[in-house]
Amino acid sequence: MKMAQKEGYRARAVYKLSEIDEEDHLIKVGMTIVDLGSAPGSWSQYARNRLTELGKSNPKIESGKPDGTIIAIDILPMEDIADVSFIQGDFREDEGLKALEALLPVGANGKVDLVLSDMAPNLSGVGVADAARMAFLAEIALDFALAHLKPEGALLIKCFNGSGYSQIVESFKKVFKNVASKKPKASRARSSEIFLLGRNLKSPK
């Protein structure tokens, strides 16, 4: 956490995303990115910084500004981040979803390139209950992605490797052509935390 704070990030979770991004080239120039359950905001910070770095090569982008759009949403409050549109609300509710959709760029038919979700339930220590809570969060992120991603888009979510994980992987495989599990070095070795990446939506049958 000290390193994250020193580098201006709000949580060490940023390093998990940065590792996955460096390996899989998730964030690209001009993207529209949605960060679900964004508070305290380190993933949005990273996305903003990455798009700003990419924007340096575009003379049309103002210096220090990101070449892309970042929209963050959480039921919890989050301190402002420059160039990130934040909605305090629930994307499962009409009000929160409409507020989010209103911020999507018009040119892409309201579709998103990348959905990020570092959401995790408050763990009780009761395996079955925790697995059900995690599966629910995965399901709502998947539902959102299915409705809002471009065909070549991607979804990255946090999971826990244990009871219920294989079912989450199977649900991803029904939706995405490419599915991969990620265990970044920044994630503690003893932790069951694992990230699931889905890319390229399958055509609806």
* Residues forming a β-bridge with 136: none
Among the ranges given (16-20, 106-110, 153-157, 158-162), the one the predictor scored with the smallest mean pLDDT: 106-110
CATH value at residue 62: 3.40.50.150
CA 203 to chain centre: 22
- Catalytically annotated residues: 158
Strand order across the 176-182 sheet:
84-88, 68-74, 31-36, 112-117, 149-160, 193-201, 176-182
pTM given for the model: 0.93
pLDDT tens by residue, 177-204: 999 999 999 888 777 889 999 999 998 7
Residues recorded for the chain:
205
Query: How many domains does the chain divide into?
Result: 1
pLDDT tens by residue, 50-82: 999 999 988 889 989 999 999 999 999 999 999
Residue 155 has a pLDDT of 98
Joined together, the tokens standing for residue 132 give: 């059900």
Q: Which domain holds residue 26?
A: 2-201
**pLDDT confidence band for 1 (50 / 70 / 90):** low
